[in-house]
């Protein structure tokens, strides 16, 4: 049994488009690197919109989510994976609405920090694949990466693979190579980081407040207030 | 001598503002974790705008950059660091122009991929700190993280610390804690990933093109073309 | 009967939150300026995810959309409005998934350009309201505005109202004032621009290709190729 | 003498690249629509980074800026124009650093709202042109448009022209057409909106606070607090 599990998430309604093709190449490389891989097609599942319970009271949002739909199944898939590769088409300079609902609903895992001391996504590794005919690829990819990172996820080098154009991406050499590397790099990173599930340490606050704040203030007092004129 | 070097980059013209304060807290935590740290104030240096040589011919852009200014010094500082923490104020929903010039000029290091087979920034670890009175923090942070990642840099969990508000950030507990964790997490990640400077592997192309593309095509042919009606 | 119709779209699941409150203030100002106003709560409707037909063949996407859900009703509301004010909470640095599905499905109106010579949204006026406890407001607002603009919609000055914080926004003076101005400015802009439904003129291509391209080439030939060294 | 003045701002170091070419086409169309046009090459000027005086005290930032450089000349050019078309290459998913410095320095005009009751950019009309080989066009364009809008500027329909690719854009029909339309639409919008320099009305606050806030509260009290379960 392979020790590293990579979950591929296809957020396009089409199972034969460029987003899916690059995802497949990435997963193939992950397999070569020794991982077990699986693909989920988000459009095969019913994912209802998040009700924003967290805005009423932070502790109202927790796993399991109160909404009764296919996220039950998808949460388990995410939790048991070491790494995620999310692939999405570009819909109006952003992810598909279906993927956005999926992301919003992941809050129930991230918010476990309030109950369990850590985000249940912390320490995983992720990358993204974004394809579209028109512009917006980097806009989508950077938002996704920032979101995943802010849920506690590690983003390894070159984690953003994007293709803007109308050609069959299986014929675009540099994008194939980027996707293959994404799969490989993600598995490599999982192996190196493995075992460390907790990164954020709330106990640091005491020494920050007791000592470091004072040190910074002392240093600043000795610094001239006006920027050097040039 | 400490084995991990963290370079803090303050992109604010002010050495006593919130961007700088959080940077200092992060670096203090990095020290506690065993790193050697250093701060550079970008406004102390002359950084001329990138001339975009790469757009004329990809190989025209390489280290050392043809522009004769203080980047010579800054390039060396970046190259000798294992990790970067970039701190910036928010100027019109974006980084300061001074930081943007610095980022643009890093192209000379990233573009060494064409000469040396790897980006000279590859394998480093980075995080960002963004402070402002008004909106835009996440917009700035996500763009910075995506940029650094696309230069080959690791983004460890919780690498985006931002504060939106007018208070003295040294009194905002959760932001102090975020900054301290950023410093610690970055050093932890450097230690785990250390020694591995090359992540992207151009030699994968042969097997992608020879085998994997065909596999994907075969799989897609057996998939129905019309999305399930729901 | 008032001649200007403003449609307010609340994309929050909650009808008593900050997003909704600012929307109400904006609509109140629109009324004062003489408009007829209406509010829709997106969470009251079933909006299924876009199937991306346009990616299979551009002309497959047209009004009415093939998906049979509440968008039928919502399309009519949008079409009969002169202006839109879209209000959204921030869910992971982005709009709510429910709003994203709504935006994606508007493609059926925008894509009428292929059948009717113009986007059915062209010439309308719009603004956005974004509220959240955490960061991301500007990221959401700028993406929304760019999207609406790229559907042919006019964005008047100060069209982006955002509040980042946990207070009751009805007590935050400058945000109340921003929202009120948004409502007023939008109606003012509708009045000035009214009657002009077509802005994009495809017939310009002939003279661009026949004359202007040649003029530009001629000018460039007489310009030195190397940027001035400084 | 033509009554509408359009200022084209080329933010690329190269005067013969795609950014410049599309800008020229847009300006040509503006001329056809009756405008007087002028082009500035930002790289011909020395633009020092903003010192962020506004962060020390809001009223410290005003026209004329305390920095003594070529912005003196550029401020006058901007002030005397009715419309701006800003063209930029994509440098790391963002504008060129030179353009960023220019944008940052415009704060001195926008911040006149504190002295003069209005942003000195209010009521102008603007559009953007973004070109690059790689991704990031929409990310750049949406940030620019949001920034300009938040300085008080109108963004007319289809104000975002972008080209991602390596070809000579003078051969790309749909982009030529987009650029030509941008020039024409901007002049059309200036004509319709002309004469109205003040859009934001601070005097609304009294009636918002005295009446509208209470109306909203009353309405919300009669609304059920729990979102409908679906």
pLDDT bucket at C225, cuts 50 / 70 / 90: low
- Report CA D82 to chain centroid distance, whole Å: 12
| CA A207 vs CA A94, A219, B28, B208, C94: distances in Å | 41, 17, 11, 51, 35
Count of CA atoms in the C-beta half-sphere (13 A) of A21? 25
- Our CA dihedral for A196, A198, A203, A209, rounded to 10 degrees, sits at 100
* Range with lowest mean pLDDT among A216-230, C206-220, D77-91: A216-230
DSSP chain A: --S-EEEEEE-SS-TTSHHHHHHHHHHHHHHHTT-EEEEEEGGGS--PPP--HHHH-GGG--SSPSS-STHHHHHHHHHT-SEEEEEEE-SSSS--HHHHHHHHHTHHHHTTHHHHSS-TTTT-EEEEEEEESSS-HHHHHHHHHHHHHHTT-BB-TT-EEEEESSS-GGG-HHHHHHHHHHHHHHHHHHHHHTT------GGGHHHIIIIIHHHHHHHHHTS-SSPPP-
Are B37 and B25 contacting, i.e. CB atoms less than 8 angstroms apart? Answer: no
Is residue C89 within 8 angstroms of chain D, CB to CB? no
pLDDT digit string (tens) for D161-217?
999 998 999 999 999 999 999 999 999 999 999 767 788 988 888 888 888 899 889
Q: Do D97 and B50 touch (CB under 8 A)?
A: yes
Q: What is the pLDDT of residue D195?
A: 61
- Our CA dihedral for B106, B111, B117, B119, rounded to 10 degrees, sits at 20
Judge whether residue B209 has pLDDT over 90.
no
- Report CA A197 to chain centroid distance, whole Å: 15
Alpha helices in B111-209 (DSSP H): 113-116, 137-150, 173-193, 205-207
- Our CA dihedral for C215, C219, C220, C226, rounded to 10 degrees, sits at -170
- Say if residue D102 is exposed, middle or buried (CB neighbours under 10 Å; 0-12, 13-18, 19+): buried
Distance from CA of B134 to the nearest CA of D (A): 11
| CA A93 vs CA A131, B85, C33, D22: distances in Å | 11, 29, 33, 22
Are D138 and A136 contacting, i.e. CB atoms less than 8 angstroms apart? Answer: yes
Q: Dihedrals φ, ψ of C74, to 5°? A: -70, -35
CATH number of D5-199: 3.40.50.360
For residue C78, which of C91, C65, C89 has the smallest C-alpha distance? Answer: C65
CATH number of A5-200: 3.40.50.360
Q: How many CB atoms lie within 10 A of CB C171?
A: 10
Instruction: Give the separation between CA B132 and CA C135, rounded to whole angstroms.
Output: 11
Chain A neighbors of C147, CB-CB under 8 A: 92-94
pLDDT bucket at C102, cuts 50 / 70 / 90: very high
Token readout for C213 is 């391209």
Q: What is the pLDDT of residue D229?
A: 44
Which residue from B48, B135, B142 is facing C137, i.e. has the nearest CB?
B135
Instruction: Give the separation between CA A215 and CA A182, rounded to whole angstroms.
Output: 42
For residues D68-90, give the mean pLDDT: 98
Q: What is the pLDDT of residue B225?
A: 62
**The three-state (H, E, C) secondary structure of B101-129, written as one string:** HHHHHCHHHHCCHHHHCCCCCCCCEEEEE
Are A78 and A106 contacting, i.e. CB atoms less than 8 angstroms apart? Answer: yes
Instruction: Give the separation between CA B18 and CA B34, rounded to whole angstroms.
Output: 25
Q: What percent of chain C has pLDDT over 90?
A: 79
For residue C91, which of D74, A51, A18 has the smallest C-alpha distance? Answer: A51
Distance from CA of A153 to the nearest CA of B (A): 5
Instruction: Give the separation between CA A194 and CA A107, rounded to whole angstroms.
Output: 23
Is residue C87 within 8 angstroms of chain A, CB to CB? no
For residue D137, which of B111, B66, B220, A135 has the smallest C-alpha distance? Answer: A135
Are C145 and C151 contacting, i.e. CB atoms less than 8 angstroms apart? Answer: no
pLDDT bucket at B229, cuts 50 / 70 / 90: very low
Is residue C26 within 8 angstroms of chain D, CB to CB? no
- Residues 98-137 (D) with a CB less than 8 A from some CB of C: 122-123
Backbone angle region of B52, left / alpha / beta, with phi > 0 → left and psi within -120 to 50 → alpha: left
pLDDT digit string (tens) for C174-219?
999 999 999 999 999 999 997 677 889 888 888 888 888 998 899 8
Q: What is the pLDDT of residue D64?
A: 96
- Across the beta sheet with A36-41, the strand order is A36-41, A5-10, A83-89, A125-132, A160-164
Is residue D215 within 8 angstroms of chain C, CB to CB? yes
Is residue D227 within 8 angstroms of chain A, CB to CB? yes
Judge whether residue B230 has pLDDT over 70.
no
pLDDT digit string (tens) for D84-138?
999 999 999 999 999 999 999 999 999 999 999 999 999 999 999 999 988 899 9
The three-state secondary structure class of C30 is helix
Is residue C170 within 8 angstroms of chain D, CB to CB? yes
For residues B175-194, give the mean pLDDT: 94
- Contacting residues for C128 by C-beta, under 8 A, at least 6 apart: C85, C86, C87, C88, C140, C141, C144, C145, C148, C159, C160, C161
Tokens 């340490």 found at? A201
Q: Do B164 and C164 touch (CB under 8 A)?
A: yes
Tokens 């450089």 found at? D69
DSSP D211: I
Instruction: Give the separation between CA D101 and CA B97, rounded to whole angstroms.
Output: 4
Is residue D97 within 8 angstroms of chain A, CB to CB? no
Distance from CA of B186 to the nearest CA of D (A): 23
Instruction: Give the separation between CA C138 and CA C144, rounded to whole angstroms.
Output: 10
Are D137 and D162 contacting, i.e. CB atoms less than 8 angstroms apart? Answer: yes
Distance from CA of D168 to the nearest CA of A (A): 16
* C·D CB contacts under 8 A: 196
Chain A neighbors of D141, CB-CB under 8 A: 135
Which residue from B96, B143, B146 is facing D49, i.e. has the nearest CB?
B96
Nearest CA in chain A to B150: A158
Judge whether residue C224 has pLDDT over 70.
no
| CA C224 vs CA B52, B221, C221, D14, D169: distances in Å | 16, 54, 8, 10, 20
Query: What is the ipTM for the molecules in this complex?
Result: 0.94
H and E: helices and strands count for chain C: 10, 5
Judge whether residue B63 has pLDDT over 90.
yes
pLDDT digit string (tens) for C124-161?
999 999 999 888 999 999 999 999 999 999 999 999 99
H and E: helices and strands count for chain B: 10, 5
The three-state secondary structure class of B198 is coil
Q: Do C227 and B51 touch (CB under 8 A)?
A: yes
Chain B neighbors of D98, CB-CB under 8 A: 49, 97, 101
Are D69 and D14 contacting, i.e. CB atoms less than 8 angstroms apart? Answer: no
Rounded CA Rg of chain D: 20
Token readout for A53 is 């319970």
**What is the per-residue burial (b if ≥16 Cβ within 10 Å, else e) of D179-199?**
bbbbbbbbbbbbbbbeeeeeb
Judge whether residue A195 has pLDDT over 70.
no
Which residue from B136, B141, B230 is facing C48, i.e. has the nearest CB?
B230
β-strand partners of A181: none
For residues C61-66, give the mean pLDDT: 97
Token readout for A114 is 């309030």
pLDDT digit string (tens) for B38-47?
999 999 999 9
Q: What percent of chain D has pLDDT over 90?
A: 78
Q: What percent of chain B has pLDDT over 70?
A: 96
For residues B182-197, give the mean pLDDT: 90
**What is the per-residue burial (b if ≥16 Cβ within 10 Å, else e) of D104-136?**
bbbbbbbbbbeeeebbbbbbbbbbbbbbbbbbb
Q: What is the mean pLDDT of chain B?
A: 93
Are B131 and B17 contacting, i.e. CB atoms less than 8 angstroms apart? Answer: yes
Tokens 């093109």 found at? B209
Q: Do B93 and D143 touch (CB under 8 A)?
A: yes
Is residue D181 within 8 angstroms of chain B, CB to CB? no
β-strand partners of D126: D84
DSSP D128: E
Instruction: Give the separation between CA C141 and CA A137, rounded to whole angstroms.
Output: 18
Token readout for C141 is 């607002």
Q: Which chains touch C (3 or more CB pairs under 8 A)?
A: A, B, D
Chain C neighbors of A139, CB-CB under 8 A: 143
Judge whether residue A148 has pLDDT over 50.
yes
Is residue A18 within 8 angstroms of chain C, CB to CB? no
Alpha helices in D33-172 (DSSP H): 53-56, 71-79, 97-105, 107-110, 113-116, 137-150
Chain C neighbors of B139, CB-CB under 8 A: 136, 138-139, 142
pLDDT bucket at A174, cuts 50 / 70 / 90: very high
Chain C neighbors of D216, CB-CB under 8 A: 21, 24-25, 28, 170
- Contacting residues for C201 by C-beta, under 8 A, at least 6 apart: D181, D184
Q: Do B176 and A205 touch (CB under 8 A)?
A: yes
């Amino acid at each position: 049994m392979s020790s590293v599990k990579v979950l591929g998430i296809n957020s396009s309604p089409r199972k034969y488009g460029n987003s899916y093709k690059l995802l497949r190449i990435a997963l193939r490389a992950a397999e070569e690197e020794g991982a077990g891989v699986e693909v989920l097609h988000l459009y095969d599942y019913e994912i209802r919109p998040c009700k924003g319970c967290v805005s009423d009271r932070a502790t109202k949002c927790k796993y399991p989510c109160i909404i009764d739909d296919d996220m039950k199944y998808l949460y388990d898939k995410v939790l048991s994976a070491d790494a995620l590769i999310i692939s999405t088409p570009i819909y109006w300079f952003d992810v598909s609405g279906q993927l956005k609902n999926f992301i919003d609903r992941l809050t129930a895992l991230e918010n476990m920090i309030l109950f369990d001391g850590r985000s249940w996504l912390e320490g995983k590794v992720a990358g993204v694949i974004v394809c579209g005919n028109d512009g917006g690829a980097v806009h989508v990819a950077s938002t996704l990466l920032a979101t995943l990172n802010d849920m506690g996820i590690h983003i390894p080098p070159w984690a953003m693979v994007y293709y803007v154009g109308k050609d069959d991406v299986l014929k675009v050499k540099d994008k194939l190579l980027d996707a293959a590397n994404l799969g490989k790099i993600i598995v490599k990173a999982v192996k190196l980081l493995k075992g460390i599930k907790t990164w954020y340490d709330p106990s640091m606050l005491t020494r920050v407040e007791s000592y470091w704040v004072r040190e910074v203030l002392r240093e600043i007092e000795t610094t001239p207030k006006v920027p050097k004129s040039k």
